Structure 1
Amino acid sequence: MAKIDSAYAYYASTYANKEVSRYDSHKKSDLRKIYNRIIKTNKESPLYKISNMSEAKKYAIDIKESSKAILNAVDSLSDKYADSSDSFQKKVAESSNEDAVGVRYVGDGSENKGADGFDIEVRQLAAPQVNTGSYLDSKALSFIPGSYSFDINTNASSYEFQFGVSTGETNGEVQDKLKRLINASGLGIEADIVHDDSGKAALQLTSMQTGLSETEDSLFSVAPSANAESISMMKQLGIDKVSSPAHNSDFSLNGTAHSSLSNTFTINNTFELTLKKPTTDTGAAAIGFKANSDAVADNVQTLVDAYNKMIDVADDYSVNDSADATRLLRDISSITKGSQSKLSYIGLMTDDDGKLTIDRDILAGALSPDRADDTFNTLTALKDAIGDKAKSVTVNPMNYVQKVVVAYKNPGHNFNTPYISSIYSGMMLDSYA
């Protein structure tokens, strides 16, 4: 288990905080297709040993994640209302004041193409609840040695915390202990240590949630256990007192007042807004869609960024120039090598590393009415080629790690093993090396 634990640790530290895309979810038919590709890969793959297990795990994870990013980019340009001729004309939202109000288009293409934008004025951001404890001398010994407990109650759950104070344990050590206990609980409350001007420290609790519904008085409450020792401890610690209550955002859309529990919300299932600061000093922010050429360039940039990320992954692991290590770089860069002249004609330039860059002026010219059809055909062909390669890479990342073949299967006489998901497409590498 130690080997696979290291793979999970690498995945968690590198990719756990990435933004989840709606294209990460699939229909049953999509999962069935993936399963069938895995079975086919397992049927044809030879038996081999991994040359460098530690690097192989990281490389396989990086390959899978970068290829998934490509597939998400391709899917985002191929919603159910778009055909191959207009997939790159997907709308792109913009805000006239990104510092105050961020915006992202989350529609699926079905809304009215002439849909108007709107103005938004932000008077107040939604805020979390904050409980700030008593400020104590960090080096003093204010807590009597013994066992204590208290409850933190949220609208969804309740958690009892039990802790002990040892002889000689300082206020700072007790506060730090409680900080770690609360942060490890997964209650949706973040604990931190704050200091005042005199250098004294207090334990501060902040809810990750913002806003209050009409039926809520608070987002969380802190209460000591009924015994005298815990009650006395809470009086000294002071984290049961609300220093800043939660409140909703306050804003206007085209002059009509609105509020929300969160600073991120959607309007008409089309715009996802993120309120960042009040617009009192700058005036209302205008929300709308970018011009067609800018929207196309942004959509192409989404695909190019995902493609270039895969090139980076392939390049990082091809330093030893072995056939296996450089195979991914060759396979990915070959997608554009055969069509460099067509791509450069519409503003997509290929550098020496195989990466793509966009010349927006050339691309804007290629979107003129007399050239638009050919331009979109070229872009669609590029999107499809990159997507097809990403599908292959995602299912069988082990095709690109350094390995030693032990035995080839008998061509034409092998068979499916449906009860083995796939030795070579899964992440449980230590079991099969």
Structure 2
Amino acid sequence: MASRDSFHSRIGFVLAAAGSAIGLGNIWGFPTNAANNGGGAFLFVYLVVTFLLALPALYAEIYIGNQAQKNPVSALGEACGEKMPRFGRFAGKIGLVGAIMMLSFYTIVAGWMLSHALSGFSAMAGFSELSNWLASDSTLRNIIFTPIFILLGAAIIHQGVHKGIEKWSSRLMPILLVMLVCLIIYIFQQDGAMEGLKQYIIPDFSRITEPRLVISAMGQAFFSLSIGVGGMMIYGSYMEKDKDIGKLVLSIGALDTLIAFLAGLLIIPALYVAQHAGQEVFSDGNLIGEGQLIFNILPTLFSSMGSIGLFVSGVFFALLSIAALTSTISSTEVPVSYLVEEKSMSRRKATWLVSGAVLIASMTLVAFFDLLFGIVIQGLTTILQPLSCLFYFIVVGWIWKRGNKLKDHAVIAQRPWLKYWGYYLQYVCPILLLIVFYNVALA
């Protein structure tokens, strides 16, 4: 049997895993949620929830994969092997479904980003009709650009872990960061930006206990870190066993949180720049258009800047396309790794089979967009991802005995702090998540 592919460096793993976490959830979802939930208050709660709950969930997911050195289905089956191996494998297969669900809507939105990027550059080249069509909302555009984005992800995935995922993540992530910082500097020079900055970084502490705000922050933390669908588990399995998972998780979390924070620094001040320019941005304290924020408001803002605005628009949506691509890579790798390792498929065949399944799911959403799109997103982010994370905590804290260093008395004797970390994952995290579900049920 051929040796298993893997990451070749710590920085390669961190950039790939951060690339998985950093995506539309950070640059698209986070600023929208922040603007709708008090700006600074949302940011404060988001940081608290990320530290107390999301990072431990990320640790649990990566840890299971790293110890097993296998795909999520096999890893969870092995971890539950003493008591309920079939249930563990079933949970892993639910993660495969979750990955396909995520990809089904993610590739559609990513196609929007790509078409808007090309719209700006087409306008610069003088192709105004093409630019207008690329920026319009149409079924035909979805039918064209969704498959294009699926092909881009497949082209990277089929090259393997080191030559594909690690190499391209190491290239794309620094580019994303540089582009984001440059856009922030540009927006800060516009009238109205400082008002948005104050709204974003100065919290109104009277709002931090609002149920809607807390639920939004928790859902955003899970979605932003891309946990609960097995992507981080498979990445952990490609890292050399027994690496310092804690430090790696902190590195990933820090990068992910930094990008989300910077996205807020860009988009929330940009909203106030647009408002200062006469655009109607808020209605009754909420953003007009919600999820369509960056497609309805920001292109108008960019066009008001003249020719430079076309370039800024192209760069901004190219940035979002990069963020989306690095996230789709990990979700695609989840079912691909399962087919390669358990069904003995070639990576090439598995990649195209999964991509075909994603294409069918995406086209189904396109065909029944108004009915299914919102339901799939809500079902994934508020039900499947949190439930998966709850299961990871239960596995690590209660079910998994053999091979679990958090339950190994000899290991704990050498590193006593592991005992308390194990207790935190075993007791505190499940309770916090159950509180989340209770509040979701009441909301």
Which TM class, normalised by the smaller chain length? under 0.3
What is the TM-score normalised by the length of structure 2?
A: 0.25
Which of the pair is proportionally richer in strand? 1
Which of the pair is proportionally richer in helix? 2
